Amino acid sequence: MNWRYLIPFFDPTVEQWSMEARLLRWLTFLWLSVGLVVVFSASYPIANVEQGDGLYYFKRQVLWMLVGMVGFNVIVATPIPSILRTAKIGLFSVLGLLILTLIPGLGTTINGATRWISIGPALLQPSELMKPFLVLQSSRFFAQWNRLPWKDRLVWLGIFSLILLTILTQPNLSTTALCGMTLWLIALAAGLPLLYLGGTAVGGILLATISISINDYQKLRVLSFLNPWADPMNNGYQLIQSLLAVGSGGVWGTGLGLSQQKLFYLPIQYSDFIFAVYAEEFGFLGGLLLLLLLGCYATISLRVALNARQIEHQLVAIGVMVVMVGQSILNIGVATGALPTTGLPLPLFSYGGSSMIASLALAALLIRVARESNIAEVVPLEKFPSEPRRRRTISRRR
């Protein structure tokens, strides 16, 4: 591969891109740039106290961004059929990492959840890395649904169920719900019978209800969401501090770097609740602009899906939109008290290497689909009968 494709802002073929591909590319860079600024602001005070370096988390986020950007440019330059052929290998590899998190001594536990694997100084979260491969393989599978025998259908449905159960066992109900909704919506877009989809939806709701009833911390999160002021110093503390941050921003915000809640009041201020810091510093107007960005991203994604020539490409575009925009809305809903507290990061905003790599890979997949929808179909000249040459007649005047 040409080294020039590894440079984020230089692509010698950009003039051949469709309008949708160009817009998605710059929207992604805008989203990413604002996210880096907010990570710097939200993490500086706590990094200065805990690590002795205010730029500790910011520098690591930039490093993960550079790693993710290499994959971003490779995916953008690779045809979708080639990417789809590698989806199965990637899915099983990440599934193996997910299973390793459940083996005592191999997974890393943080805040009571075993979702990470330590590789030297780095922490990888397999459930985040699973998202792009889940979108790819489910798009390929559901696009071929009518051509597959029931044996193959049941095998792959079992594999998808195993992935969801493994993530749920960590425990990680929010990521399980997001992945389940992604699979369900891709299947809906593929035209699966409503009877199957309805039964799956009921089963998913029952599974989530059982998980909440079994895990006390999930039950307490739901109760604190309904009334956070009942226990303001324990279970309701996160939500109350987040609401205080969002409310303190007012219309115009306090200004970049001037958030008060990030000064050791708001927990996990540079990850799960980073939107609360953003809303405090940029106000209602900043939050509205972020929602506008998400709306533009979703609209262009749907346009890309409608313009795609292959059903697999359409489903990939829809899956990427569901994960990127849907996860963002869920994170914002948690920070504003509209949804129970979950551990879902805000794509391209929240601190975390696995989330950064997965989000950039998903964005690259959508841009690649947009590029391929603009590639003209080339027909060899041999298919056209050669036109016989007409003899030129010269008339002379006498």
Question: Is 180's pLDDT higher than 90?
Answer: yes
Whether the model clears a pTM of 0.95, i.e. scores above it, the answer is: no
Question: Is 4's pLDDT higher than 70?
Answer: no
pLDDT-based confidence at residue 33 (cuts at 50, 70, 90): very high
How far is Cα 130 from Cα 117, in angstroms, rounded to an integer?
A: 14
- Residue 27 maps to a domain: no
pLDDT-based confidence at residue 2 (cuts at 50, 70, 90): very low
162: which 2 tokens?
A: 């195993």
Q: What is the predicted pLDDT for the residue at 69?
A: 96
Question: Is 394's pLDDT higher than 70?
Answer: no
Q: What is the predicted pLDDT for the residue at 379?
A: 39
- Residue 91 maps to a domain: yes
Question: Is 120's pLDDT higher than 60?
Answer: yes
Query: From the CB of residue 211, how many other CB atoms can be counted at a distance below 10 Å?
Result: 18
Q: How many domains does the chain have?
A: 1
How far is Cα 345 from Cα 194, in angstroms, rounded to an integer?
A: 31
How far is Cα 19 from Cα 304, in angstroms, rounded to an integer?
A: 10
Q: What are the distances in angstroms from CA 146 to CA 37, 81, 153, 313, 370?
A: 47, 19, 10, 17, 26
Helix H or strand E encompassing 154: helix 150-169
Q: What is the predicted pLDDT for the residue at 353?
A: 93
Torsion angle of the four alpha carbons 224, 289, 343, 103, in this order, in degrees rounded to the nearest 10 = 170
Q: What is the predicted pLDDT for the residue at 381?
A: 43
Q: Edge-to-edge strand order for the sheet containing 107-110?
A: 107-110, 113-119, 122-124
Q: Which amino acid would we find at residue 116?
A: W
pLDDT-based confidence at residue 376 (cuts at 50, 70, 90): very low
Q: What is the predicted pLDDT for the residue at 241?
A: 93
How far is Cα 127 from Cα 20, in angstroms, rounded to an integer?
A: 29
Contact 322, 288 (CB under 8 A): no
- Residue 127 maps to a domain: yes
Q: What is the predicted pLDDT for the residue at 384?
A: 39
- Residue 389 maps to a domain: no
- Residue 105 maps to a domain: yes
Question: E-strand spans in the chain?
Answer: 107-110, 113-119, 122-124
- Averaged pLDDT score across all residues of the chain: 87
Rounded mean pLDDT, 68-92:
94
How far is Cα 350 from Cα 153, in angstroms, rounded to an integer?
A: 36
Q: What is the predicted pLDDT for the residue at 97?
A: 93
Rounded mean pLDDT, 11-24:
75
By three-state DSSP, how is residue 119 classified? strand
How far is Cα 328 from Cα 322, in angstroms, rounded to an integer?
A: 9
56: which 2 tokens?
A: 């500790």
Please name the residues in contact with 331: beta carbons below 8 A apart, sequence gap of 6 or more.
272, 275, 342, 344, 345, 346, 350
Question: Is 46's pLDDT higher than 60?
Answer: yes
pLDDT-based confidence at residue 12 (cuts at 50, 70, 90): low
How far is Cα 28 from Cα 43, in angstroms, rounded to an integer?
A: 22
Q: What is the predicted pLDDT for the residue at 393?
A: 39
Q: What is the predicted pLDDT for the residue at 16?
A: 67
Q: What is the predicted pLDDT for the residue at 13?
A: 55
Nearest to 356 by CA among 31, 79, 42, 86: 31
Contact 87, 136 (CB under 8 A): yes
Which range (33-37, 47-51, 198-202, 340-344) has the least confidence? 340-344
Q: What is the predicted pLDDT for the residue at 211?
A: 82
Share of the chain above pLDDT 70, in %: 90
Burial 167-177 (b: 16+ CB within 10 A, else e): bbebbbbbbbb
- Residue 26 maps to a domain: no
- Residue 58 maps to a domain: yes
Full domain range(s) for residue 352: 41-373
pLDDT-based confidence at residue 134 (cuts at 50, 70, 90): very high
Q: What is the predicted pLDDT for the residue at 212?
A: 82
Digit-coded pLDDT (tens) for 304-356: 999 998 999 999 999 999 999 999 999 999 999 888 888 889 999 999 999 99
Question: Is 105's pLDDT higher than 90?
Answer: no
